[in-house]
Amino acid sequence: MTDALSRLLQSRDWLMADGATGTNLFNMGLTAGDAPEIWNVEHPDRIRTLYRSAVEAGSDIFLTNTFGGNASRLKLHGAQSRVSELNRIGAELGREVADAAGRPVVVAGSVGPTGDIMAPMGPLTHETAVEMFHEQAEGLKAGGADVLWLETISAPEEYRAAAEAFKLADMPWCGTMSFDTAGRTMMGLTSEGMARTVEKLDNPPIAFGANCGVGASDLLRTVLGFSALGIERPIIAKGNAGIPKYEDGHIHYDGTPELMAEYAVLARDCGATIIGGCCGTMPEHLEKMREALSTRPRGPRPTLDQITEKLGGFSSASDGTGDDATPARRPRRRSRG
Amino acid sequence: MSDEEEEIILSELDDDELVQQMMDDLYDGLKEEIEEGVNILLERGWTPYRVLTEALVGGMTIVGADFRDGILFVPEVLLAANAMKGGMAILKPLLAETGARTIGKMVIGTVKGDIHDIGKNLVSMMMEGAGFEIVDLGINNPVEEYIEAIKREEADILGMSALLTTTMPYMKVVIDTMKEQGIRDDYIILVGGAPLNEEFGRAIGADAYCRDAAVAVETAKTFIARKHNQATA
């Protein structure tokens, strides 16, 4: 184990990841509709500032500004030929900031979904998906990313394609999915289903888990689902700072720094090792999270009731795991030969 | 049960049984069986419109309900919609020939400033699966694009999607422009996207907010039925 993340994991029993990228960049003046990745080239100072703000708030790991940096997403901006360049520079800027931190900080090369639906339901073939992820992975590797960080995935097929691509790039990686539909991913995968997918991979990630989705409570229910399976692999929790609320013509996330501090400590008690935020999580949230993780003792594994008491209710009654799993499909009246 | 082992010969079923079987086959996403069933009903003298509404749309309604209730998920629904499209491909030219109305036509697109499209694509696929005609404008659409398309296509429905809290207010710009041009009430306007809610839909003057693709289909059907009733009243 020679990568920076595995080394950190050996010396510490929890690590803090970063917060939001999109929310922060919009605050810095990113115009809706533009590809954030273009800023790696056009506004490198702002991207350095973004990375630095996570490091200064106490993050041990931060994600590069390359989430939409695959050919399929960049094509929407006519920038599909710039995959290598935008990812490489996104990682190089991260390398600079991490190396100047004065303590070990991991540069995680962010890789988001292609946004396409995979065959046979949709148009994206496994081969094309692997090719796209591989191209992005090579760019991040060239820029000096320590690990690759797959996130916000909903289809197991896409997760597998990325794993294969990262093997081709010979890079260690982490990968999280987004559980936003009644406790499952959009494609219907439960926390247990994801854990099974991960453990069957030829090239499994260093750590796996959940990001984004619907608020902090739901995310912790998913983490409890992972840890109940007794898998050794470290679990990642990167939840949103509450839920977006529309008020007086503008939008804000309703999670306060204090709530996110509570969330961070609970996430650790739920069994997560790598804890961070996602949409709406700003440096002030991260500071409180770091402080809480450093000063507060570990507690027992919380119950679902304790989570809702501290963080608010769940978005759905069940998440498709355990005894009260979702009702079964209609029985077919007949079968065909 | 022993009869589950039997092979079903679609052409040997009477009309009622065949329609039941086609609903099951749609549920299971069996495209070839649906195509076969459609052809059999046509041979038996069913009008294309009756095949569409009773067998196909009826079957997709069950799929939509189970999706809404968290029993089916996106992959199963897409397979069902794909089977439905197989049937539609046979019916579409016939419907055009007989001059029968299709269920409705929708122009759909993600609003200006927004580059997300997976939700919109799911709505498109499910609407198509339910028998609607879809004109997909893709992402990042300015108001001019929407208005030009709904006029050109003589659409019944305008669907707008946004995934960003920063872009959802643009929906109001589109609706306000339609009002200024005096064409707002000629169209059913449906909006959707993760950060939206019913309250927002009402506030900007849309006809409805649709929580997911299944709700979009149901809502579209309800509004289209209302429109037809008004037209004949």
Could you count the other beta carbons within 10 Å of the beta carbon of residue B170?
23
Per-chain mean pLDDT for chain B: 88
Distance separating alpha carbons of residues A218 and A110, to the nearest angstrom: 23
Q: Which residues of A are annotated as a binding site for Zn(2+)?
A: 212, 278-279
- The per-residue pLDDT for A276 is 97
| Contact between chains at A35 and B115 (C-beta distance less than 8 A) | yes
**DSSP string over B56-118:** IIHHHHHHHHHHHTTSS-HHHHHHHHHHHHHHHHHHHHHHHHHT---S-EEEEEEBTT----H
Helix (H, G, I), strand (E, B) or coil at B160: strand
pLDDT tens for B9-25 read 999 999 999 999 999 99
R_g over Cα of chain A: 19
pLDDT tens for B35-54 read 999 999 999 999 998 998 89
Evaluate if residue B123 carries a pLDDT over 70: yes
Please, where in chain B does CATH 3.40.50.280 lie?
105-232
Helices (H), A100-180: 126-142, 156-168
Distance separating alpha carbons of residues B27 and A332, to the nearest angstrom: 9
Task: Choose between B120 and B119: higher pLDDT.
Answer: B120
| Contact between chains at A329 and B72 (C-beta distance less than 8 A) | yes
- The per-residue pLDDT for A180 is 85
List CB contacts (< 8 A) between B71 and chain A.
326-330
- Banded model confidence at residue B2, pLDDT cuts 50, 70, 90: very low
Distance separating alpha carbons of residues B131 and A300, to the nearest angstrom: 53
Which chain A residue lies closest to B139 (C-alpha atoms)? A76
Q: List all residues of chain B from 169 to 188 with a beta carbon under 8 Å from chain A.
A: 169
Evaluate if residue B3 carries a pLDDT over 70: no
Tokens of A149: 């960080």
The answer, for A188 touching chain B at a CB cutoff of 8 Å, is: yes
Distance to chain A for B229, nearest Cα, Å: 33
Sequence-separated (6 or more) residues with CB below 8 Å from residue A1: A7, A10
- The per-residue pLDDT for B1 is 45
Tokens of B202: 């009402």
| Helices vs. strands in chain B: H and E counts, helices first | 10, 5
The answer, for B97 touching chain A at a CB cutoff of 8 Å, is: no
List CB contacts (< 8 A) between B74 and chain A.
121, 186-188
Low-confidence ranges of chain A (pLDDT < 70): 1, 32, 244-252, 323-337
Burial A277-312 (b: 16+ CB within 10 A, else e): bbbbbbbebbbbbbebbeeeeeeeebeeeebeebbb
Q: What ipTM was estimated for this complex? A: 0.72
Which chain A residue lies closest to B200 (C-alpha atoms)? A246
Distance separating alpha carbons of residues B212 and B65, to the nearest angstrom: 12
A2 class by beta-carbon count within 10 Å (0-12 exposed, 13-18 middle, 19+ buried): exposed
- The per-residue pLDDT for A337 is 44
Distance to chain B for A259, nearest Cα, Å: 21
Distance separating alpha carbons of residues B229 and B207, to the nearest angstrom: 17
Nearest to B78 by CA among B99, B68, B98, B64: B64
Distance to chain B for A212, nearest Cα, Å: 12
B105-232 belongs to CATH 3.40.250.10: no
Amino acid at B157: I
**What's the DSSP call for residue A214?**
S
Which chain B residue lies closest to A34 (C-alpha atoms)? B113
Residue among B73, B137, B140 with most chain A CBs within 10 A, to mutate: B73
Do residues A267 and A299 touch, judged by C-beta distance below 8 A?
A: no
CB pairs under 8 A between A and B: 108
The answer, for B90 touching chain A at a CB cutoff of 8 Å, is: no
The answer, for A77 touching chain B at a CB cutoff of 8 Å, is: yes
- The per-residue pLDDT for A100 is 97
The answer, for A240 touching chain B at a CB cutoff of 8 Å, is: no
Please tell me which of the candidates B8, B27, B121 has its beta carbon nearest to residue A330: B27
- The per-residue pLDDT for A173 is 98
Domains and CATH numbers, chain A: 4-311 (3.20.20.330)
> pTM for the complete prediction?
0.84
Please tell me which of the candidates A35, A117, A334 has its beta carbon nearest to residue B4: A334
Do residues A28 and A46 touch, judged by C-beta distance below 8 A?
A: yes
Please tell me which of the candidates B74, B112, B168 has its beta carbon nearest to residue A33: B112
Please, where in chain B does CATH 1.10.1240.10 lie?
9-98
| Contact between chains at A184 and B73 (C-beta distance less than 8 A) | yes
| Contact between chains at B194 and A334 (C-beta distance less than 8 A) | no
**Residue A24 φ then ψ, to 5°:** -65, -40
How would CATH label the architecture of B9-98? Orthogonal Bundle (1.10)
Please tell me which of the candidates B24, B71, B165 has its beta carbon nearest to residue A327: B71
Distance separating alpha carbons of residues A80 and A84, to the nearest angstrom: 9
Residue among A253, A330, A332 with most chain B CBs within 10 A, to mutate: A330
The answer, for A35 touching chain B at a CB cutoff of 8 Å, is: yes
- The per-residue pLDDT for A172 is 98
Do residues B135 and B107 touch, judged by C-beta distance below 8 A?
A: yes
